[in-house]
Amino acid sequence: MDDIFGVPLPLLFGQLLLGLINGAFYALLSLGLAVIFGLLNIINFTHGAQFMMGAFVAWMLLNWAGIGYFAALLIVPLLVGLTGVVIEKLMISRLYKLDHLYGLLLTFGLALIIEGLFRNYFGSSGLPYGIPPALSGATDLGFMFMPNYRGWVVIASVVVCLATWLVIEKTKLGAYLRAATERADLVQAFGVNVPRMITLTYGAGVGLAALAGVLAAPIYSVNPNMGSNFIITVFAVVVIGGMGSIGGSIVTGFGLGVVEGLTRVFYPEASATVIFVIMAIVLLVRPAGLFGRA
Amino acid sequence: MAGAQDLALPAGSGTVPTTLFGFSRAQAVAFVVLVAAIAVAPMFLYPIYLMKVMCFALFACAFNLLLGYVGLLSFGHAAYFGMGGYIGAHAAKVMGLSPELAIIAGGIVAAGLGAPFGWLAIRRAGIYFAMITLALAQMVFFFANQAPFTGGEDGIQQVPRGRLFGAISLAPDLAMYAVVAAVFLLGFLLVFRIVHSPFGQVLKAIRDNEPRAISLGYRVEHYKLLAFTLSAALSGVAGATKAIVFGIATLTDVHWSMSGEVVLMTLLGGMGTVFGPVAGALVIITMQNYLAPFGAWVTIIQGVIFVACVLAFRRGIVGELGRLLRVQL
């Protein structure tokens, strides 16, 4: 029992773990996109750039201010989320009365600006961000050795996803949020400050992207293109899952990560495109997405 | 159809006599200026640069057919432009086809790619449509990166310009220039003709009020799909022409940033205007030429133009010009 279909087990488990890691980032990023989309009705194209900013700000905190990984997990989402608040206040809030496509175009332009600025100052070669000592090393799981940091990323991502889900589905704040998604005008009539809620929601979604960036920093090299490579796949994930439900985007994110990992084992040539092929099939069978409402 | 066209004109412009192709008088004047500029420009400016502008202008016109007249924002048009380029380069270099056949082949294959992609994408509208087209184009990018015939990172290099109809050598820049000008003007007139045909009127009806178009009995998905395929085909023609001019087809042209560039050209020039995409392509390519030494600043400035257009300049250059002159351009 050392192999399945001729594939050695360690290889299979290794790729499954890699798939779970990618899935963790798909889930975190599509979750942020879904939160933003729910209330603002825009697709945040800047999401990839904000993910990249998260990784860079963590790097800057470490190298310029000596602030380590665990503090960065808390500080970076706040800092980057704050830039999101500013962007929403200054620009995005002007577009709510227009076609939603303008929101997409604006955030695409912002993504170009942010990525260009980082490329100017840091080059495109990538910077190293070490794994924090507390999470280095590996654990013997009996059937494979798992690098501790990778296990941590999966666990942290699951916890953050569940926490977000709980906040939105089970708290009073979440109830306001869901109500405003349905009928913003009525919620406003009940005395809730909806514009402020929208601003903070955008900031929170951006914060989630930045948090994903900090988690990603020790795994991928910190470089200005890391976000745009990810975000297009995440868009496909979002189309597959449908934006209707928060839980749906979490499940789809992890699931597709695993599928991608398995493809890398059994048919490596297709690993880059498998998610897009799945997207095409889902569009044929369920155009609204697996968890979406038509 | 002239009646419907007059209705769309701003009040005060009176009765507009339609001329050849259904141009209004202002459009006819603008078109004559455009043709004259194309004829005279190579005496003053570098022909290669002008050819690049015309290739991208055709690309942007093809894109505008979809965004400006059906209201569908495709974020994956690089797939058709880039694939057209690969096919054109492959046909001219490996298969030894003459340039006009290579360009046509690029258009046909791009149409063949656009039809199934469009068929998938029009199942959703709005931002989903944009995300789906982007994801499908990314699939084409990965394919181009791996497929043997595209040459991966190297692309297809040293593509011969060949002989037009097997007789006229296109190696001299001015001969090539004449061909590119002919392709561009034909494509431009074709888009104009499509937009102002009964078919084009239905497209605009779909853009302005889709439920009403459906209730009037139009099979809107057929119209959308045909518009998408036509747009993809013309994008492929533009890509193939560019590949023949420069003798190279690379991954740059299938990358998502190229999809963004054509959106920017159309937005800046004025979406839904006939001449807007041409103006947008001219400005963006000129800017890229002059700012090339500054590297990443080109991307930053493009981003700034995007933001400025969306926030304060949604009519675009030609749209604003038309508003000032009270004509439809």
- Residues making up chain A, counted from first to last: 294
CA B19 to each of CA B2, B23, B28: distance values in angstroms, whole numbers, following the listed order: 10, 5, 7
Could you please state the CATH topology (level 3) that the domain comprising A9-121+145-285 is classified under. Answer: ABC transporter involved in vitamin B12 uptake, BtuC (1.10.3470)
Is B189 buried (19+), middle (13-18) or exposed (0-12) by CB count in 10 A?
middle
Question: What is the per-residue pLDDT across A13-64, written as a single tens digit (0 to 9) for each?
Answer: 888 888 999 999 999 999 999 889 888 888 899 999 999 999 999 999 999 9
**Chain B: residue whose CA lies nearest to A122:** B296
Which token pair is B239? 């890509």
Whether the CB of A276 is below 8 Å from some CB of chain B: the reply is yes
Mean pLDDT value of segment A89-109: 90
Domain ranges of chain A: 9-121+145-285
DSSP state of A7: E
Rounded-to-integer distance, Cα A132 and Cα A70, Å? 8
DSSP characters for B15-61?
-----GGG--HHHHHHHHHHHHHHHHGGGTS-HHHHHHHHHHHHHHH
- Residues making up chain B, counted from first to last: 329
Question: What is the per-residue pLDDT across A208-245, written as a single tens digit (0 to 9) for each?
Answer: 999 999 999 999 889 998 988 788 889 888 888 887 67
Rounded-to-integer distance, Cα B299 and Cα B320, Å? 25
Beta bridge partners, A7, equal A4
pLDDT attached to residue A14 = 83
Question: What is the per-residue pLDDT across B38-50, written as a single tens digit (0 to 9) for each?
Answer: 989 888 889 999 9
pLDDT band with cut points at 50, 70 and 90 for residue B20: low
Triad A28, A135, A131: Cα angle to 5°: 75
Rounded-to-integer distance, Cα B145 and Cα B134, Å? 16
pLDDT attached to residue B15 = 45
Q: Find residues 35-54 of chain A whose CB sits inside 8 Å of chain B.
A: 42-43
Q: Kindly report the backbone phi and psi dihedral angles of residue B17, in degrees, each rounded to the nearest multiple of 5, phi listed first.
A: -70, 130
Q: Find residues 103-122 of chain A whose CB sits inside 8 Å of chain B.
A: 104-106, 108-117, 119-120
pLDDT band with cut points at 50, 70 and 90 for residue B11: very low
Contact B14, B317 (CB under 8 A): no
Whether the CB of B120 is below 8 Å from some CB of chain A: the reply is yes
Domains of chain B: 20-325 (1.10.3470)
pLDDT attached to residue B80 = 96
Question: What is the per-residue pLDDT across B138-152, written as a single tens digit (0 to 9) for each?
Answer: 899 989 988 888 888
On the question of pLDDT at A271 being above 90, the answer is no
Name which of A137-146, A264-273, B181-190 the model is least confident about. Answer: A137-146
Whether the CB of A235 is below 8 Å from some CB of chain B: the reply is yes
SS3 call for A293: coil
pLDDT attached to residue B109 = 96
Rounded-to-integer distance, Cα B78 and Cα B117, Å? 13
pLDDT attached to residue A244 = 67
Q: Report the amino acid identity of residue A25.
A: F
**Chain B: residue whose CA lies nearest to A241:** B128
Q: Kindly report the backbone phi and psi dihedral angles of residue B164, in degrees, each rounded to the nearest multiple of 5, phi listed first.
A: -65, 130
Whether the CB of B130 is below 8 Å from some CB of chain A: the reply is yes
Termini Cα distance of chain B: 18
On the question of pLDDT at B81 being above 90, the answer is yes
- Find, among A231, A234, A221, A237, the residue nearest to A108 by Cα: A231
On the question of pLDDT at A294 being above 70, the answer is no
Other residues' Cβ atoms within 10 Å of the Cβ of residue B291: 15
SS3 call for B43: helix
